[in-house]
A = this chain, B = another copy of it.
Amino acid sequence: MTINYKNVYVGDVYTIAGIYEASGPLYKYFDELYDKDFYYGEKSFEKAEIKMHTSCIEGILRKSNLSCTEIDLMLAGDLHNQLTSSNYMSKVFGIPFLGVYNACATSAEAMLIAANFIDSKKVSNCLISTSSHNLASEKQFRNPVEYGTPKPDYATFTSTGAAAMILSSKKSNIRLESATVGRVIDKGIKDVNNMGAVMMPAAADTIYNHLKDMKRDVNYYDLILTGDLGKYGKEMLKKYMKSVYNIDLSKNYNDCGTMLYDINNQPVFAGGSGPVCSALVMFSYILNEMKKKKIKRVLFVPTGALYSPVMFLQHQSLPAIAHAISLEVLE
């Protein structure tokens, strides 16, 4: 289901990156680096993530010179049970709040809901944000683990950081012009380490539906950018799109999970994941390239595994979703 927006523009963005992200190739594009340790002066990983998320919102308000009362609506989500990071961040600011959860596709979900509020003139701006923290996620999703068990090479690595964006009716050089809401897809995969394979069919379904709904050729976009399929998931998507839909992604496709790190030299397995992974890449490096007009049309497709440890322990397969956001540089 694809929606067109007429008057939604990308305003300021703010990004905070953790240790591994700060030592990756995109470090110079982030606003802040939390690169000392995983605690940031707090006593738990959860509190560290809340601190990072809160600092990110303080950062974007400072950068955009806006007070809390000048933000109409805040949408946020994260990987924690009960969206802990977003809720505890949100209570600091007192901005009307909506919590959203589509796992690692949360940033796209927030963007498209916010775009709708703005385009309908119900509000003039929205602040959207997300965060994730490698060790908070490991603790929640992969604890207890068998002592000494190695991860497979196709596992992904939850990224650490926070990212925020202001969407607004106020004109800027980058427009959010359309969005495709994804469907929950489950191909029966039960391997929680193989998130690339779990999420790839959802990305394929959404990209296909977006191009069909908008009557666009795949090469309309300078870049199609999935969220966190990782190096194997990325190759699977290319093959799947070609064989199932006859869509050739060989020229203009990349995956944020493979871009955030030097995946051949950093210990991140197949690449990054977590809701902040795609947001860190899109909101910093890619928007920067768009502002310089090096790339003009981007289809941003964060992917989320709607994975639940409880259902995994009950031997259920893993559903996934992907939403697509089309951003374009105005001449």
Contact = CB atoms under 8 A, between A and B. Distances in A.
Interface of A: 1, 3, 43-44, 46-47, 72-73, 77, 80-84, 87-88, 90-91, 94-103, 109, 113, 116-117, 119-120, 122-123, 140, 181-186, 306-311, 314, 316, 319, 321
A95 B311 contact: no
A314 B183 contact: no
A77 to B, nearest CB: 7
A186 B102 CA distance: 25
A72 B1 contact: yes
Contacts of A117: 3, 116
Contacts of A186: 91
The 4 closest A-B pairs by CB, nearest first: A120-B120, A96-B181, A87-B306, A1-B96
Contacts of A47: 314
Nearest to A123: B1
Given A88-B311, A101-B101, 10 more contacts: A84-B310, A88-B319, A94-B184, A97-B182, A97-B183, A98-B109, A99-B102, A100-B101, A116-B122, A140-B310
9 contacts: A47-B314, A81-B81, A82-B101, A82-B307, A87-B306, A88-B319, A99-B306, A116-B116, A116-B122
Contacts of A310: 46, 80-81, 84, 140
Contacts of A81: 81-82, 308-310
A107 to B, nearest CB: 13
A120 B123 contact: no
A87 B184 contact: yes
Copies of this chain = 2
Nearest to A42: B314
Given A81-B81, A308-B84, A314 B44 contact: yes
A186 B90 CA distance: 10
A82 B1 contact: no
Contacts of A102: 97-99
A110 B117 CA distance: 14
A180 to B, nearest CB: 8
A303 to B, nearest CB: 14
Contacts of A109: 98-99
Nearest to A103: B82
Nearest to A179: B122
Contacts of A46: 310-311, 314
A183 B316 CA distance: 36
Contact of A119 (B43, B44, B120, B314): B120
A301 to B, nearest CB: 14
Contacts of A90: 183-184, 319
